[in-house]
Chains A and B, each alone.
Chain A
Amino acid sequence: MIVSLKKVAKRYTRGKETVEVLHSLDLGIEQGDFVALMGPSGSGKTTLLNLIGGLDRPSEGEVVVAGEHIDRLSGAALARWRARNVGFVFQFYNLMPMLSAQGNVELPLLLTKLSAAQRRKNAQTALTVVGLADRARHKPSELSGGQQQRVAIARALVADPTLLVCDEPTGDLDRKTADEILGLLQTLNRDYGKTIVMVTHDPKAAEFAKRQLHMDKGTLVPGNMP
């Protein structure tokens, strides 16, 4: 089991009010799985994704990802853990506008001990995997939305993480481009064995995953339980 959540609750305090977003949630994801998390807005799917990706901590319960109790790590240790284990793909790509595609893809490698030449080589390989080797020198503003998301996927892949965490990766793209991106994720899962957890509103997008989990009001809907 690459992801294991036990009795996880997450509460947020807004002023005097405390809102529980996740209620005593259990979840297990095997290595090599491709899971689509679906559900209406406010159902807690992004919160769950953030917990799995180590961007947030649970209020209660245990989160074990890639063999590490990440709920027990300090902020700095969690950052190092994310660098080693998680690749993120965001809805709005979140590329650095001043860097080329190559520069963006190389970013996670700055956290490794690789030489500059090795970083360059690995970034080129990642760009080749996503089909953008010929756009390496282009800035994000010179690329289409789909191409930018491919660069973001290459950035997520380049350090060979255990897990790809995708938050609405096609939410800002048209249908055709979205399908291309989802096809790419599917390829990464099938051919490269990458474990992927993806949050999406889009049922068609979810069809690209091996498994669909539905959330509502902070819990996994019965029938889709792991």
Chain B
Amino acid sequence: MFKQTYAITVMNLRAIPQRLGTSSVIVIGIAGVVAVLVSVLAMAAGFHKTVANSGRADRAIVLRGGSQAEINSSIARDNLLTILDAPGVQKDASGKPVGCGELVTVVNLPKIDDGNLSNVTLRGSCPQLPALRPELKIVEGRMFQPAVRELIVGAGAAKQFAGITLGSHIGFKESDWTVVGIFTTGGDAHDSELIADADTVQSAFRRSLFQSVTALLTSPDAFDGFKDALTTNPTLTVDVKREPEYYAEQSKQLTKLLNFIAYFVGGIMAVGAMFGALNTMYSAVSARAREIATLRAIGFGAGPVVFSVFAESLLLALLGGAIGAALSWAFFNGNVVSTLGDNFSQVVFRLTVTPALILSGIWLALFIGLLGGLFPAIRSARLPIIDALRAQ
């Protein structure tokens, strides 16, 4: 059985150059499906990786009770000290709690590629920032100074938006800001932000409230005590989350949407490719009707003929899937793009074509090949041998 199947499959494959046009339909169709699917999923994976990987388990973010994101939260200045005095908060050498009341606001900056204005997060933070977020490294210039209109720019934002190079002056709300540093946080969500002194941002934007408080805890285990202290305090109405949990929630909606788009668009294309595969394999069986009938007359069984049609369909599908995945990887893997995050501002992230995504694409290709080969394979088994033998 295996020997027969192998022999017929090899014959079929060797005949492909004679049917290059129809065979390429299945390869190109499936390559397109897999390229689209893998690329959109790579977008979802990249966004998820950027946002969901933000934060540390030993850092907690405090928002107003019921707030979904920082942008619709508010924390009064009076509550800041209460929050940072809660048990479990790390203290620095001078005994000050390591934490910042932060506010976020949205500013407009032109994109480098098309010049269109896009929303960018301007985060007001505090002088404790380097201790609070040790992953934040200044790669060019220096840290902003308090009480001065200086800001530092995330490396992701610097690649996407114009006019924020080191030393640039930016006008927000009739105030002039100077870019004094470029920082990186290793590609997480903060890499897309501009950060300045919170008090200065409050003053320039005429705000009096913070939107979140982020505190560094003594250890990840200190979180429960910290949370309990705040949520049982009658003077506070807050939600307390570990940073990774907060950012995972932030990425969930968009990741879901991108996954939906990937599978919806990919699904529609897959149906098209499946019909392409059907057509290809039907024409392959039809073109080889006399050869198949001859093999059956000689004594080859129907099973090996059916399997050989499947094998050809699957091999062509595999080739298409591999080409699609390779195209996706070559053209999109590592590409930096941005999209609107939950703070209504752009989050810059890298498309990430992971091995798992490639495998998903290959599985889809094989599934299309399997379905596309099914009916032609059945037809090949039911081919009327006597009629086909005498066909010219």
The chain A residues found within 8 Å of chain B, CB to CB, are: 46, 50, 53, 55-56, 75-76, 79-80, 82-84, 88, 90-92, 94, 96-99, 107-108, 110-111, 155, 167
Contacts and interface: CB of A to CB of B under 8 A. Distances in A.
A99 B386 contact: no
A79 B15 contact: no
Given A76-B301, A90-B294, A110 B4 contact: yes
Contact of A50 (B298, B299, B386): B386
A73 to B, nearest CB: 12
Nearest to A85: B299
Contacts of B297: 53, 55, 82, 88
A134 B390 CA distance: 29
B212 to A, nearest CB: 69
Contacts, number: 68
Nearest to B7: A110
A76 B291 CA distance: 18
Interface residues of B, number: 24
A80 B299 contact: yes
A80 B299 CA distance: 6
Contacts of B291: 94, 96-97
Given A50-B386, A55-B385, A79 B11 contact: no
A99 B299 contact: no
A98 B301 contact: no
Contacts of B290: 92, 94
Nearest to A82: B299
A97 B17 CA distance: 12
11 contacts: A76-B302, A79-B301, A88-B298, A91-B390, A94-B294, A96-B294, A97-B18, A97-B291, A107-B7, A110-B7, A111-B4
Given A46-B390, A50-B386, A107-B298, 18 more contacts: A53-B297, A55-B297, A76-B301, A76-B302, A82-B299, A88-B298, A90-B389, A90-B390, A92-B390, A94-B291, A96-B11, A97-B15, A98-B15, A98-B18, A107-B7, A111-B299, A167-B389, A167-B390
B173 interface: no
Nearest to B381: A75
A73 B134 CA distance: 81
Contacts of B18: 97-98
Contact of A108 (B299, B385, B386): B299
A110 B3 contact: yes
A11 B293 CA distance: 22
B14 A82 contact: no
Interface in B1-49: 3-4, 7, 11, 14-15, 18
B interface majority secondary structure: helix
B295 interface: yes
Contacts of A91: 390
Given A90-B389, A94-B290, A108 B11 contact: no
Q: Give the one of A53, A110, A167 with max B CB within 10 A.
A: A110
A108 B298 contact: yes
B11 A98 contact: yes
B300 A79 contact: yes
A92 B290 CA distance: 10
Contacts of B294: 88, 90, 94, 96
Given A79-B299, A111-B298, A111-B299, A94 B4 contact: no
B9 to A, nearest CB: 12
Contacts of A80: 299, 301
Contact of B386 (A56, A96, A107): A56
A104 B101 CA distance: 82
B392 interface: yes
B298 A98 contact: no
B3 A99 contact: no
B296 interface: yes
A90 B298 CA distance: 11
A53 B291 CA distance: 18
Contacts of A110: 3-4, 7, 300
Interface in B246-292: 290-291
A56 B299 CA distance: 13
Q: Give the one of B298, B302, B386 with max A CB within 10 A.
A: B298
A88 B385 CA distance: 13
Contacts of B293: 94
A90 B299 CA distance: 15
Contacts of A155: 298
Interface in B291-326: 291, 293-302
Nearest to B294: A94
Nearest to A75: B302
Contacts of B15: 97-98
Contacts of B7: 107, 110
Contacts of A55: 297, 385-386, 389
Q: Give the one of A76, A107, A155 with max B CB within 10 A.
A: A107
